[in-house]
Structure 1
Amino acid sequence: MTSSTLTAPAETRRGSDYARLSRRVAAAGLFDRRPGRYAARIALTLGAFLAGWAVVVAVGDSWWQVPLAALMAVATTQVAFLGHDAGHRQMFRRRGPSEAAGLVTGNLAVGLSYGWWVDKHNRHHANPNHADEDPDVGAGALVWTYEQAAATRGLSRWMARRQAWLFFPLLLLEGLALHVASVRALVGREPDGRWRTPVRHRAVEGVLLLAHTVGYLGLLFAVMSPGKALLFAAVHQALWGLYMGCAFAPNHKGMPMPTAEDELDYLRKQVLTSRNVRGGRFVDVALGALNYQIEHHLFPNMPRANLRRARPIVRAYCAEQGIPYAETGLVESYRQALAHMHEVGRPLRQG
């Protein structure tokens, strides 16, 4: 999308637009915490996660561990969604309980640094889809703008030409990338000795990540042969990364990308760069309610269960204000994301 697509007319860039929407949402009671709902969700999700590991132990040295690894990838992603909710304080208003939940679900259960993820994710929410500000669309294995594509060299340029075809295969490495990034965030320092990533509980996070690694590998090698243990880990981590990537990719990829020249208020910045995904209750559960991405970006600390109810209010308000509200099916969301990646690589294929 071009800058002109994003820039709202001066007479519509009013900070009060978001305030009016917030009052409507508050009047519907959608900012209220859902402690009972979250208690049940936490119990069911962690219960299934622990039950899955119990089955792994019970099955032992068997090739049935391969399909179990796939099921555990699903369970692990669902636990990661709980960490996401904790990071936004959707479960608890106070920082302490939220951080405790995030450290347990992130560092201990999944092996993902909660502090690193919160810092990265907050920067994403502050400037979604902004190539210079949003870490989720910074240049890396994939590129998201023509400028990023033009700056590639060697293997990166070869990949940029074909990145739409490589997207899903690369997601199989996303789980490993998240683990590596977590460790680097906890130990990485700048040349002057400062920590590279702000993490509030660095020592605690390090201990929990170590406990996760020792427990994970220790359990696998204790109940099955080394070959099966390594295969289980490979399948589990690959499918976890694929699932995580497939859950987050529909939200912004292929949507407008603001630049420093665009002047957008908070309401338009969040709505114009986000995409909702239709699909009913199954998609709600499968994507951790991230399919209500517009509502989530407008109200990050809104409990997950309330996002569905906020959708008609937000959609109607956007219609009143003349703000495009993007919503599509799951398959179409991937098509749009892949089409964007393919287009970004077009100049390299023609050069």
Structure 2
Amino acid sequence: MGSLNLLGLALIVGGMVLLRDSWWAILLAPAFAFMSTQIAFFAHDAAHHQIAQGGRATALLALVHGDLLIGMSYGWWHAKHNAHHAHPNDLESDPDVAVGAFVFDADQARARKGMAGWLTRHQAGLFFPMLTLEALNLRVSSVRAVIRPGLRYRKTEIALLLGHFVLYFALLIGTMTWAQGLVFLAIHQALFGVYLGSSFAPAHKGMPPLTPEEATDPLLRQVLTSRNVRGGPAVDFALGGLNLQIEHHLFPSMPRPNLRRAQPIIENHCHERGISYMETNLLESYAIGLRHMHDVGAPLRDVSSD
């Protein structure tokens, strides 16, 4: 998969060079966004030791594909993602449901005022439009993380992130006019953010909170907070294996192709023990998440209508 990603990236760059200063090159921006997300999936798998077991080999793969190729800090993401895996959907411990642009708990929503409150009132409708800024958000968070001391490979990450930005903007400047480059940049980054965010969103958003007893059980903590998306190989490829979220959370180091083999075994085990095993189609998974976000904003809408 990594070789195919690099080949796809090389073909896109070659196409941009061949179409130098042509508006037709803008048509390559969606393809670039697709490849950027596929590379992000590969970096995700590498960071989970799905590709290489050794620490140095894993770090090398994740640093090259994360920092250099897509401009996202491996060290920052790894710490954040490990916290998510340890306590998914825990409002106190999971950074993916921490208060930010979006809020996933009604009690937290009530404290939002001003512009933040307006965003929360309308967050369900704004979710997908705001994903166009997700790639920018990831880059800003990455730069902030490498500026501060603490990351294991901090100096290497600084160099690789600088290399990413220099190469990316050199490619735009060298193959396009300023107007074309700005349009390409906007389309590429917006679609990258939407694709990446849309791939992670179905996994946990809108799942019911755990009881204290459920939260202490490792099996229940992972299964009851996760949701699978039905589909075959095409869905596995499009979502980077994240559609098999239950299996991934139970066995995060399991290589992506094996998740499909493990799925019926885990589903049967859950059914035998009377454990809820949530699986739905892609559109319904979005609907569940958006309904939850809409409900979370309800208290603020009620106040504003008084």
Partner of 2:258: 306
Shift of 1:42: 1.3
RMSD: 1.1
Shift of 1:60: 1.1
**Where do 1:164-203 residues align within 5 Å?**
164-188=124-148, 195=149, 198-203=150-155
Partner of 1:276: 228
**Where do 1:30-45 residues align within 5 Å?**
41-45=1-5
Partner of 1:245: 197
TM-score normalized by structure 2? 0.97
- Aligned letter for 2:273? Q
1:51 to 11, 29, 44: 11
Whole-Å Cα distance in 2 between the matches of residues 338 and 345 of structure 1? Answer: 11
Whether 1:148 aligns to 2:108 is yes
Shift of 1:243: 0.4
Partner of 1:214: 166
1:124 to 84, 94, 99: 84
Whether 1:64 aligns to 2:24 is yes
Partner of 2:44: 84
Shift of 1:261: 7.2
Give the match's secondary structure for 1:64: helix
Whole-Å Cα distance in 2 between the matches of residues 268 and 46 of structure 1? Answer: 38
Shift of 1:67: 1.8
1:335 to 287, 292, 297: 287
Partner of 1:94: 54
Shift of 1:47: 1.1
Partner of 1:290: 242
For residues 54-89 of structure 1, the C-alpha deviation after alignment (integer angstroms, 9 at most, x for no partner) is 111111111112221111000100001000001100
1:326 to 278, 284, 294: 278
Shift of 1:45: 1.5
For residues 156-175 of structure 1, the C-alpha deviation after alignment (integer angstroms, 9 at most, x for no partner) is 10010010000000000000
What count of residue pairs does the alignment treat as equivalent? 303
Preserved CA contact (<8 Å) 1:131 1:259? no
Shift of 1:295: 0.1
- Aligned letter for 2:48? H
| Deviates most, 263-272 or 83-92 | 263-272
Give the match's secondary structure for 2:23: coil
Structure 1 unaligned segments of length 5 or more: list them. Answer: 1-40, 189-194
List structure 1 segments (4+ residues) > 6 angstroms apart after TM superposition. Answer: none
- Taking CA–CA contacts closer than 8 Å with sequence separation of 6 or more, which of the two structures ends up with the larger relative contact order? 1
Preserved CA contact (<8 Å) 1:109 1:212? yes
Shift of 1:259: 6.7
- Aligned letter for 1:165? G
Whether 1:103 aligns to 2:63 is yes
Preserved CA contact (<8 Å) 1:173 1:238? yes
Whole-Å Cα distance in 2 between the matches of residues 322 and 259 of structure 1? Answer: 16
- Aligned letter for 1:110? I
Preserved CA contact (<8 Å) 1:49 1:79? no
Instruction: State, as a whole percentage, how many aligned pairs show the same letter.
Output: 51
Structure 2 unaligned segments of length 5 or more: list them. Answer: none
Whole-Å Cα distance in 1 between the matches of residues 197 and 210 of structure 2? Answer: 22
Whole-Å Cα distance in 1 between the matches of residues 154 and 40 of structure 2? Answer: 19
Shift of 1:148: 1.6
Partner of 1:223: 175
Partner of 1:12: none
For residues 114-172 of structure 1, the C-alpha deviation after alignment (integer angstroms, 9 at most, x for no partner) is 11000000000000000110000000010000122011111010010010000000000
